[in-house]
């Protein structure tokens, strides 16, 4: 029996389950971009030297893991408000997951060639696409309350859009900066996760909205 939404479309539960699985696999695959160094002859000094040389791969791993975690949290928060689905929405989510699944490749490429503009550009484009599809995901769901409830605060919708766009805009700036200075470009990529970790106005809206959802006085669960 197909698990479907009563208004048409696949159930939210099925979409969230697929999304969680793709994120889990992508985040796990990131560590495989850090290769154990081959040292000959093996001494503590040569091994330490080779481990230090892994810093680009380690840095890219940390950036990518935190970014994937950030986008997973963003996707999860959206589904707190999304109530139903439709065919186009499903495909937006599929393309979003396709871009998520490609991050281990672009991260590995950047870790191996941190001074190459091409690697920085590919990595930047990958993050731009992930953020872009997440933005399209939210915009499509909230446009004219297509897939959300009518009482969703307009301010929350607006702030969420702005918050999502931080990543793609910063990634585009970092990719463009690679044509001027590759070190500065890599530094900007490293700063992007921090932009999401700093609490903003949208976080207060999330908490306030969820607090209202949990408040019995605002629900129909009260007894007469």
What is the rounded CA–CA span in Å between residue 92 and residue 102? 16
Helices (H) and strands (E) in the chain, counts: 9, 0
CB-CB contact of 8 with 86 (8 Å): yes
Q: Is the pLDDT of residue 221 over 60?
A: no
Q: Is the pLDDT of residue 219 over 90?
A: no
Q: Is the pLDDT of residue 34 over 60?
A: yes
More confident residue, 214 or 208: 208
The pLDDT mean for the chain works out to 87
Tokens of 169: 């805009």
Looking at residue 1, its pLDDT comes to: 38
What is the rounded CA–CA span in Å between residue 192 and residue 120? 14
Looking at residue 39, its pLDDT comes to: 79
CB-CB contact of 114 with 60 (8 Å): yes
Q: Is the pLDDT of residue 61 over 70?
A: yes
Entry field: residues in the chain: 224
Q: Which residues in the chain belong to E strands, given as ranges?
A: none
Grouping H, G, I as helix, E, B as strand and the rest as coil, residue 212 is helix
What is the rounded CA–CA span in Å between residue 156 and residue 202? 7
The pLDDT confidence band at residue 200, using thresholds 50, 70 and 90, is: low
Looking at residue 218, its pLDDT comes to: 42
What is the rounded CA–CA span in Å between residue 206 and residue 80? 9
What is the rounded CA–CA span in Å between residue 127 and residue 169? 10
Stretch 193-204: mean pLDDT: 75
The position carrying tokens 């986008």 is 71
Residue 15: name the closest of 78, 105, 64 by CA.
78
Lowest mean pLDDT among 5-9, 134-138, 196-200, 204-208: 5-9
CB-CB contact of 122 with 178 (8 Å): no
What is the rounded CA–CA span in Å between residue 8 and residue 76? 21
CA distances from 176 to 144, 173, 189 (A): 35, 5, 11
What is the rounded CA–CA span in Å between residue 224 and residue 5? 32
CB-CB contact of 127 with 67 (8 Å): yes
The pLDDT confidence band at residue 2, using thresholds 50, 70 and 90, is: very low
Q: 10-20, pLDDT tens digit by residue?
A: 678 989 999 99
Q: Is the pLDDT of residue 4 over 70?
A: no
Q: Is the pLDDT of residue 43 over 70?
A: yes
Stretch 28-32: mean pLDDT: 96
Domain boundaries, the chain: 12-198
Name the pTM for this structure.
Answer: 0.84
Looking at residue 207, its pLDDT comes to: 63
Looking at residue 40, its pLDDT comes to: 80
Q: 139-180, pLDDT tens digit by residue?
A: 999 999 999 999 888 988 999 999 999 999 999 999 999 999
The pLDDT confidence band at residue 223, using thresholds 50, 70 and 90, is: very low
Q: 104-131, pLDDT tens digit by residue?
A: 999 999 999 999 999 999 999 999 999 9
Tokens of 43: 């001494």
């Amino acid at each position: 029996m197909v698990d479907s939404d009563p208004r048409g479309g696949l159930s939210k539960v099925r979409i969230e389950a697929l999304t969680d699985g793709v994120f889990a696999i992508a985040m796990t695959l990131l560590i495989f971009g850090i290769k154990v160094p081959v040292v000959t002859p093996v001494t503590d000094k040569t091994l330490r030297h080779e481990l230090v040389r892994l810093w680009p791969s380690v840095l890219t791993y940390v950036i990518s893991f935190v970014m994937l975690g950030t986008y997973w949290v963003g996707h999860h928060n959206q589904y707190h408000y999304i109530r139903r689905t439709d065919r186009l929405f499903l495909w937006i989510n599929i393309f979003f997951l396709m871009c998520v699944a490609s991050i281990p490749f672009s991260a590995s490429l950047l870790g191996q060639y941190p001074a190459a503009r091409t690697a920085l550009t590919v990595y930047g484009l990958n993050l731009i696409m992930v953020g872009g599809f997440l933005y399209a995901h939210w915009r499509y769901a909230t446009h004219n309350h297509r897939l959300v409830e009518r009482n969703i605060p307009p301010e929350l919708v607006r702030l969420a859009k702005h918050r999502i766009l931080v990543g793609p805009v910063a990634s585009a700036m970092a990719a463009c900066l690679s044509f001027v200075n590759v070190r500065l470009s890599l530094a900007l990529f490293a700063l992007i996760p921090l932009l999401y970790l700093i609490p903003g106005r949208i976080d207060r809206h999330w908490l306030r909205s969820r607090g209202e959802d949990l408040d019995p006085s605002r629900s129909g669960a009260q007894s007469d």
